[in-house]
Amino acid sequence: MKQIPLSAAIGLFITGLYFFVALFAPWLAPYGMAEVVGEVWEPMSSTHWFGTDNIGRDLLTRMIYGARTTIFVATVATAVSFITGSILGFTASVFGGLIDQALSRFVDLIMSIPSLIFALVVLSVVPVTLPVLILLMGLLDATRVYRLSRAVATDINVMDYVEAAKLRGEGKLWIIFRELLPNALSPLVAEMGLRFIFMVLMISTLSFLGLGVQPPNAEWGLIVKENKDGIIYGIGAALWPALAIASLAISINLVADWILNRTTSIKGGR
């Protein structure tokens, strides 16, 4: 941490700030999430720092609660995608043969359909709840993680120390968790930052289209949708959540790049 570059420090600070706000949203928000406290689209003032939204709710409060929803959904969905995709990718690489072919062809089939279109079709016929959103987003994104983890594991699987472990009679679980996983962490961690941002963009897009988080709950993409008509009249209420999404994406990428540079090394299992 003493040698952390300025760009990574800025990214870490902004990322930590957003997660702090998301975690303590009920204590930081000045008003209730759906409480109407003023007129429609009031300008910024000492009472309402970001102004009010399309029905008179405090926009800062909506942004704080929106951060909680957006970051929670994106974080859990990213965890689902990486757990599922990494396990399947390592399994395909280690076992090979029919298992590898079956998993790879199934993943190719899923990836041939654009993720957003796939999600819209599924969400149009099932109840739109947070667990459904998280599971759907996580499983769709697991296909990308599968391709990366399988490719990395295949390269590592032919290393001398992996062959030595096989000759010692180590089991496949040992190979996966003691040989492949430690040496695959570097690209996986870097990819995790990108996948997290993709999740943020996806949940915001789904909410903007009306098939994500539902009102009166707050989510950054939903806040953009609710206030987009104000842009015509020169009211920038919809720009605040867009700025939040952009700054979070940049900060996560800065941290991911730093972690990638710090962890790029091959470690033999013990």
- In tens, the pLDDT along 68-102 reads 999 999 999 999 999 999 989 988 888 888 988 99
Domain ranges in the chain are 6-263
pTM exceeding 0.75: yes
> Which of the listed ranges 41-45, 165-169, 188-192 does the model predict with the highest average pLDDT?
41-45
How buried is residue 266: exposed, middle or buried, by Cβ count under 10 Å (0-12/13-18/19+)? Answer: exposed
Burial of 250 (0-12, 13-18, 19+ CB in 10 A): middle
Would you state the structure tokens that stand for residue 86, as one six-digit string?
A: 């990494």
CATH of 6-263, one of 1.10.3720.10, 1.20.1600.10, 2.60.40.10, 3.20.20.150: 1.10.3720.10
pLDDT per residue as tens digits for the range 202-214: 999 999 988 888 8
Binned at pLDDT 50, 70 and 90, residue 264 comes out as low
Determine what percent of the chain falls in helix, strand and coil, rounding each to the nearest 5.
70, 0, 25
Q: Name the CA radius of gyration of the chain, rounded.
A: 22
pLDDT at 220: 93
Q: How confident is the model at residue 34 (pLDDT cuts 50, 70, 90)?
A: confident
Instruction: Please tell me the predicted confidence (pLDDT) of residue 266.
Output: 41
Give the residue carrying structure tokens 């040989």.
179
User: Percent of the chain beyond pLDDT 70?
Assistant: 96
CA distance 66 to 165: 48
Q: Roughly what angle, to the nearest 10 degrees, separates helices 59-95 and 239-263?
A: 40
**Average pLDDT over every residue of 156-181:** 78
Q: Which residues pair with 57 in a beta bridge?
A: 36
Give the up-direction half-sphere exposure of residue 128: CA atoms within 13 A in the CB hemisphere: 17
Written as one string, the DSSP assignment of 161-198 is HHHHHHHTT--HHHIIIIIIHHHHHHHHHHHHHHHHHH
Residue 138 has pLDDT above 90, yes or no: yes
